Amino acid sequence: FLVMTTLATTLAAGAVAGFTLAFTVLQIPIGVVGVPLGIVLLPSLAQATALGDVDRFGRLLRRALGLLVFVMLGISALGIVLADEAVRILFGHGGLDERTLAATAAATSVFLLGLTAHSVIAVLARAFYARQDTLTPVVAALAVVALDAALAVAFVGPLGLSGLALAIAIGAWVEAVALATLLRRRIPQLSFSPVV
């Protein structure tokens, strides 16, 4: 976040505020649906792991991811279509100029491309925690921070504020796929089809 806001300072006036507001909008569905689902799921996943019940672990994970993908894709699509109106309703009375509102709405739309991935990460990380593996999600997250920073540097010039949002969205998808792949390698009989 520090790297992103630093890069935002190189853009037009209001870019830092626009980035922060767009990122906040992204966090709302993650905080309301994605993270709570992961938290609620953790004890059941841990119990299935403790009992060695890979089938139950897989069923719980598939159902949670299926529900999450279904809900978040819908929210993403709706949010992208209504981003401009939502940003104006939420932040249009706070003294932001027209250019900042437009940039915030555009960044929000791009951030929402990664919403499903961010939410999936919240569940997949807990699947690792249930297996008493906190290192793998942390290492994956740190690797993606480096990727996000590199992509942001590449995208900020040509795409501006939306480039920063795109870097974070791409990083989220890379992290989600990496976590799913690593979990599948650790539990070969685990299948995410058709979810992941």
**169, HSE (Cβ side, Cα atoms, 13 Å):** 21
pLDDT tens digits for range 104-118: 899 999 999 999 999
DSSP string, 39-87: HHHHHHHHHHHHTT-HHHHHHHHHHHHHHHHHHHHHHHHHHHHHHHHHH
The per-residue pLDDT for 187 is 87
Structure tokens at 114: 């990664």
pTM: 0.87
- Higher-pLDDT residue of 4 and 34 is 34
The length of the chain, given as a count of residues: 196
Question: Which amino acid is located at 72 in the chain?
Answer: M
